[in-house]
Amino acid sequence: MKAEVYSITYRIPLTDAQQARLDRKWPDGDPFISPEKIDSLLEPLQVENIYWSHHTGQYLYFTVYGDDREATVAEVVERLERKLG
User: At 29, which CATH number?
Assistant: 3.30.310
Domain count, the chain: 1
Asked if residues 48 and 34 have their Cβ atoms less than 8 Å apart, the reply is no
24-39, pLDDT tens digit by residue?
999 999 999 988 899 9
Residue 2 lies in a domain: no
Q: How confident is the model at residue 6 (pLDDT cuts 50, 70, 90)?
A: confident
Query: What span, in angstroms and rounded, lies between the C-alpha atoms of 44 and 54?
Result: 28
12-22, pLDDT tens digit by residue?
999 999 999 99
Residue 58 lies in a domain: yes
